[in-house]
């Protein structure tokens, strides 16, 4: 699946809603609300299964937002190492 920009601009959704809409995908969120190091809500700008693609293609989309983040909506396998 290729990365896909979302057609609903400026719609703030809870992270639980985002996980249901885009299961096991990377999402680029504009203006995220973060509490206790957890994303609570945000505006979905793009989603897809390839993290590198999200980071590369999402650069243009985040220019109009004060803050942004990239998050995974699924569960990582136990013991998997994630590089930042």
Number of H-type helices and E-type strands within the chain: 2, 5
Question: Is 90 exceeded by the pLDDT of residue 10?
Answer: no
Quick: pLDDT tens for 44-72. Answer: 999 998 888 888 888 888 888 999 999 99
Phi–psi pair at 63, nearest 5 degrees: -60, -30
Whole-prediction pTM: 0.80
How far is C-alpha 25 from the geometric centre of its chain's CA atoms?
Answer: 8
Domain positions in the chain are: 4-72
């Amino acid at each position: 699946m290729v990365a896909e920009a979302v057609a609903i601009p400026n719609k703030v959704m809870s992270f639980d809603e985002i996980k249901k809409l885009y299961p096991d995908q990377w999402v680029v969120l504009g203006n995220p609300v973060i509490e206790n190091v957890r994303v609570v809500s945000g505006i979905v700008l793009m989603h897809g299964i390839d993290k590198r693609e999200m980071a590369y293609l999402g650069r243009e989309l985040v220019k109009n937002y004060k803050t942004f983040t990239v998050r995974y909506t699924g569960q990582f396998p136990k013991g998997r190492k994630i590089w930042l």
